[in-house]
C-alpha cells in the first residue's frame, strides 16, 4: 500500500496506545496500520464495506474487526487517551442532527430507539451530543434519537469538569443544570430563555467562543460516514465518530 492517510508521527502515538490495551492483540504493526487505514478510507469516503480496495485486505475481516473494537469501546478509549491534556479553561456543549441512510433502518418495532434512531418527516435521524474544550477539540459525546432534547444529556456529559466556563446556547437554560454547574465550581455562560421570570447575567463576550463547537461539527462532517449515518448499530457509528474526533486532535 503506497498511500497512507494517517501521518507517521500520528500513527506512532496511536500504536503506542494500542500496544498498551489489554483487550486486543496488535503484535504486527504493519497489518494493524493497514487495518486502521482501511477503516479511515471507509470513514472518509462513505463507501460500502464491500467496496474497500483489496490492498487493505479482505473487507469482511476488516469490518468484523472494526465492529469488535467498536463494541469494546476501544475507539472511544483512544479519544480519551489523547484528551488528557485538554485546555480546561472553557468547555462547550451542543448537539447536531445526522440524517440516517435507509440502509441503517430495518429494525423490529421499537428496537430503533435502542440504536439511537429517531423518526422525523425526512426519515430516521440521530442526534450527536458533544462536549469540546476551549480550543474546540472533542472531549466526550453521546448519541440519542433525534427527538431527544439537548438538555437530557447535559448533566452526564458535563459531570467531572471543575473550575471552567461552561458555554452553551439557551436550550441548556435550566435551573437544575445551572445548579449542577455552579456546584462543580464552574461558571455558566448560558443565555436565558425569553420566558424566564428572573433573568440571569452572563458573559456575552465569552459566549462568542461558542462558535468553536459549531466549527468542530463542520470538521467531522467532512467524513462521509458521519455526515450521513450508514450503520445500523449505534456502537459502530460511535466508533467512527470517536475515530474522526481523535484524528482531528492529532492534526
Domains identified in the chain and CATH numbers:
8-72 (no CATH), 90-231 (3.30.420)
The answer, as to whether pTM is greater than 0.85, is yes
DSSP E strands in 133-220: the ranges are 138-145, 165-167, 187-189
**pLDDT tens for the 251 residues of the chain, in order:** 667 899 999 999 999 999 999 989 899 999 999 999 999 999 999 999 999 999 999 999 999 999 999 999 999 999 999 999 999 999 999 999 999 988 877 666 667 788 888 877 778 899 999 999 999 999 999 999 988 899 999 999 999 999 999 999 999 999 999 999 999 999 999 999 988 888 889 999 999 999 999 999 999 999 999 999 999 899 999 999 999 999 999 98
64 half-sphere exposure, CB direction, 13 A CA radius: 5
Read off the DSSP letter of residue 201. -
Cα–Cα distance, 174 to 154 (Å, whole number): 10
Burial class (CB in 10 A: 0-12, 13-18, 19+), 197: exposed
> Per the structure block, which three cell numbers stand in for 21?
490495551
Cα–Cα distance, 224 to 217 (Å, whole number): 13
Cα–Cα distance, 222 to 225 (Å, whole number): 9
28-75 residue pLDDT tens:
999 999 999 999 999 999 999 999 999 999 999 999 999 999 999 999
64-91 residue pLDDT tens:
999 999 999 999 999 999 999 999 999 9
Please answer whether residues 221 and 54 qualify as being in contact, where contact means their C-beta atoms are separated by less than 8 angstroms. no
Beta bridge partners of 138: 132
Cα–Cα distance, 114 to 82 (Å, whole number): 29
Cα–Cα distance, 180 to 183 (Å, whole number): 5
Read off the DSSP letter of residue 27. -
**Strand 123-132 versus strand 90-100 pairing type:** antiparallel
Cα–Cα distance, 112 to 124 (Å, whole number): 9
Cα–Cα distance, 55 to 53 (Å, whole number): 6
pLDDT score recorded for residue 155: 96
Amino acid at each position: 500500500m503506497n498511500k497512507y492517510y494517517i501521518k507517521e508521527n500520528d500513527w506512532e502515538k496511536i500504536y503506542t496506545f494500542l500496544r498498551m490495551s489489554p483487550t486486543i492483540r496488535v503484535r504486527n504493526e504493519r497489518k494493524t496500520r493497514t487495518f486502521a487505514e482501511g477503516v479511515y478510507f471507509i470513514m472518509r469516503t462513505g463507501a460500502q464495506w464491500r467496496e474497500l480496495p483489496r490492498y487493505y485486505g479482505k473487507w469482511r475481516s476488516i469490518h468484523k474487526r472494526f465492529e469488535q473494537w467498536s463494541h469494546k469501546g476501544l475507539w472511544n478509549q483512544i479519544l480519551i487517551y489523547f484528551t488528557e491534556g485538554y485546555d480546561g479553561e472553557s468547555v462547550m456543549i451542543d448537539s447536531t442532527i445526522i440524517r440516517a441512510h435507509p440502509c441503517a433502518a430495518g429494525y423490529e418495532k421499537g428496537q430503533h430507539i435502542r440504536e439511537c434512531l429517531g423518526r422525523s418527516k425526512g426519515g430516521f435521524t440521530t442526534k450527536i451530543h458533544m462536549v469540546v474544550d476551549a480550543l474546540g477539540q472533542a472531549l466526550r459525546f453521546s448519541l440519542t434519537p433525534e427527538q431527544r432534547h439537548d438538555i437530557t444529556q447535559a448533566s452526564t456529559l458535563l459531570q467531572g469538569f471543575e473550575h471552567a466556563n461552561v458555554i452553551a446556547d439557551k436550550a441548556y437554560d435550566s435551573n437544575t443544570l445551572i445548579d449542577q454547574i455552579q456546584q462543580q465550581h464552574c461558571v455558566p455562560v448560558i443565555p436565558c430563555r425569553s420566558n424566564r421570570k428572573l433573568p440571569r447575567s452572563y458573559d456575552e463576550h465569552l459566549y462568542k467562543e461558542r462558535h468553536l463547537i459549531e466549527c468542530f461539527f463542520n470538521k467531522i462532517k467532512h467524513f462521509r460516514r458521519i455526515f450521513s449515518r450508514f450503520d445500523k448499530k449505534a456502537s459502530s457509528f460511535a466508533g467512527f465518530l470517536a475515530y474522526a474526533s481523535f484524528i482531528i486532535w492529532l492534526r
